[in-house]
Amino acid sequence: MVKAVLYQGDAICWLRDLPDASVDLIVTDPPYESLEKHRAIGTTTRLKHSKASSNDWFDIFPNDRFHELFVELYRVLKKNSHFYLYCDNETMFVAKPIAESVGFRFWKPLVWDKMKIGMGYHYRARYEFILFFEKGKRKLNDLGVPDIIQVPRIYRGYPTEKPVEVSEVLIKQSTEPNEIVIDPFMGSGSTGIASVKLGRHFIGNDIGSEALKVTRERLQNLQVDFVSTLWPQSTSMSETTQLDISI
């Protein structure tokens, strides 16, 4: 029985309530700090309320919190597991050395080729990086998969929404059925959708209520056996951690 459990809260606070070595894969896409710079100079359409989307822009995750984030990600990840971080070319140079300093082994950046040109001034953007990290040693399931993943970008979707097909590649490569995938910044739930479709359990978190609403609806459309949205106003993490992580 594939299960999905959703939370609303600060990513780092949420991670601190998860047990050590309790998850099999992390795939996540923090709203990195450089997005604010692009927004300020008009190189992204994702303004406070974008005309290209019905969803408001979210608060960014500052670079100075990456160290405490990676400490917690390393702690909750089982030995011999993988961690994938979506990021841009600027954030890559900030995140990589910090992740390595807490114990992750960096293998390489994967390239998500969006197949359509985006915005920008100096060579308009068509790609995004996915940093590939490892804790311990785990062999990829298919050594023939290239490091460029070609999937069209989402048009008029949730802010910075990632295609489910991209996360499916990562999940197929780094997990087996019934293992647990988490996403501390789940947004519209693309990682969760990919996990459930592939027979993996999913535990997701986001600080925004809109993200929970969108993700819950998308998962319900897949007829997931168990979806629970736990709001901090009514349920504490300490009361539910054992249930969630033992799925």
**Contacts for 146 with CB less than 8 Å, ≥ 6 apart:** none
Q: Which is more confident, 58 or 77?
A: 77
Query: Which pLDDT band, with edges at 50, 70 and 90, does 60 fall under?
Result: confident
Segment among 109-118, 157-166, 195-204 with least mean pLDDT: 157-166
Amino acid letter, 64: D
Q: What is the DSSP string of 42-59?
A: T--S--TB-TT-SSB---
Q: Is the pLDDT score of 96 beyond 70?
A: yes
Question: With DSSP H G I counted as helix, E B as strand and the rest as coil, what are the percentages for the chain, rounded to 5?
Answer: 35, 25, 40
Query: Which pLDDT band, with edges at 50, 70 and 90, does 240 fall under?
Result: very low
Task: Say how many C-beta atoms besides its own lie within 10 A of residue 108's C-beta.
Answer: 11
Task: Say how many C-beta atoms besides its own lie within 10 A of residue 232's C-beta.
Answer: 13
CATH of domain 3-245: 3.40.50.150
Burial status of residue 186 (CB atoms within 10 A of its CB: 0-12, 13-18, 19 or more): buried
**Contacts for 169 with CB less than 8 Å, ≥ 6 apart:** 145, 149
Q: Which of 190, 124, 206, 126 is nearest to 157 (CA)?
A: 190
3 state DSSP class of 8: strand
3 state DSSP class of 147: coil
Angle between helices 190-197 and 164-174 (to 10 degrees): 50
Query: Which pLDDT band, with edges at 50, 70 and 90, does 230 fall under?
Result: low
Angle between helices 209-221 and 190-197 (to 10 degrees): 20
Q: Which is more confident, 182 or 224?
A: 182
Q: For the chain, what are the domain ranges?
A: 3-245
Q: Percent of the chain having pLDDT more than 70? A: 78
- Cα separation, 22 vs 247, in Å, equals 11
Q: Which of 94, 166, 97 is nearest to 128 (CA)?
A: 166
**Contacts for 125 with CB less than 8 Å, ≥ 6 apart:** 114, 117, 118, 119
0.75 cut: is pTM over it? yes
Amino acid letter, 221: N
